[in-house]
Amino acid sequence: MNHFKLTWKNIVRRKSRFFFTLSAIAVGIASLVTLLSLGTGLETEIRKQANVLGAHLVVTPRGWCAYEQISVLTGETLPEAIPNEDMEKIAGIKGLTAIPYLVQRTALENQPVPLIGILPAKMKQFKNWKIGLGRYLLDEANVVIGFGIAKQFKMKLGDAISVRGQDFSISGILEEVGNRDDLAIYMDLSIAQKIYGVGDNVSFISVQVDDINQIDKYILEIQNVANVAVVSDKQLLKSVLAIVGTVGSALQMVAAVAILAAFFGIVNTMMTAIYERRREIGILQAVGAKKRTIFCLFLYESAIYGLLGGIVGVVVGFIFSYFAAPYIGQNEFTAFLGSEQSVQIFSVGITMKALLFSILVSALAGVYPARQACKLSPVEAISYE
């Protein structure tokens, strides 16, 4: 007896039932794959941006919430609450380099883009930026833009950018670095402070220390000289990932509901199939098929539903996550997913997990119907009309 051939024949016998049962599984797995793909891409991008920040410590105003910590990595607008007086005190501590950021927003072609006020010379050395075109000049009349901004808005050297009614010329375009540094306009810090009317305040300060083993010492020194909060790069990363993980878990619970619905759909499909095929079950038993064989046939059937539904769900899930990422990335919390590059277009790990989970759930759904099929006596089954 060819078990696979018999199982496949039984599955496709009712094409409409086969289609709808398979669709239910595929929808549940697709939703799970989509969330896993976006979540994995988001976590990868968070780690990448934390490394790009290049800071051992991040100095923030006291009382910042998790949202603002996330914004340090995403480049979103941040409140300015650290005065220049505190900045100078921190910069005066021996053994560290302090780089201030004023993170604001402006618009190009009616689209919001980050504008970051910086100390030009210090930032260039800190980030090791290289100029792709033009020259690195930031003053009362000139700004520098990232490679991504130039590409997205088709901007070139000498083009004018208006910031709150004041025109600036693009003096240089940075070489592509492959991170969020490509997606901002850079202006001299003092000019940005004046235009945005924030006095001598900055949003946050990145700090590099000479001796990484003395991190705790530097944190205490900074807090002693200024009324600020200090978080290490590892603490910042851990905090952000914890929030992302909590949100991701909640969303995966939503996907689990769809998979649970598919579970009961398979149970219903298999129970219906048993009642329709009682006579066949009796004939199989009459020709010598053991109860274990009957059990395995129905278990194989439900597992195949899981395998096929899982394959369809994985494909649909990755496709959907690819196209959904740019739209999901339009809010601040998921700004890392502003482009499809940060999405796992295909992941062997996610694929294997999703397929195994789909097969396991479907096989479990087939256990009860398979047991019921085994309990039928040959006489009862053959006499069924």
Element (H, E) at 114: strand 111-118
Q: For residues 70-92, give the mean pLDDT.
A: 77
Task: Give the separation between CA 127 and CA 136, rounded to whole angstroms.
Answer: 13
pLDDT in the model for residue 233:
65
Decide if pLDDT at 350 tops 70. Answer: yes
With cut-offs at 50, 70 and 90, classify the pLDDT of residue 133: very high
What are the pLDDT digits (tens) for 203-220?
888 888 888 778 788 888
pTM of the model: 0.62
What are the pLDDT digits (tens) for 12-56?
677 777 788 888 888 888 888 887 777 777 777 666 666 666 667
pLDDT in the model for residue 254:
74
Task: Round the average pLDDT of the chain to a whole number and report it.
Answer: 79
pLDDT in the model for residue 168:
95
Q: For residues 367-374, give the mean pLDDT.
A: 81
Percent of the chain with pLDDT over 90: 16
pLDDT-wise least confident of 131-135, 162-166, 257-261: 257-261
Closest by CA position to 96, among listed 69, 56, 128, 154: 56
Task: Give the separation between CA 84 and CA 136, rounded to whole angstroms.
Answer: 24
Decide if pLDDT at 330 tops 60. Answer: no
What are the pLDDT digits (tens) for 86-113?
888 888 888 888 889 998 989 898 888 9
Task: Give the separation between CA 354 and CA 348, rounded to whole angstroms.
Answer: 10
What are the pLDDT digits (tens) for 271-283?
887 777 777 777 7
Return the domain boundaries, the chain: 3-48+240-383, 63-226
Percent of the chain with pLDDT over 70: 76
pLDDT in the model for residue 336:
45
DSSP 169-236: EEEEEEPP-SSGGGG-EEEEHHHHHHHHT-TT-BSEEEEEES-GGGHHHHHHHHHHHSS-EEEEHHHH
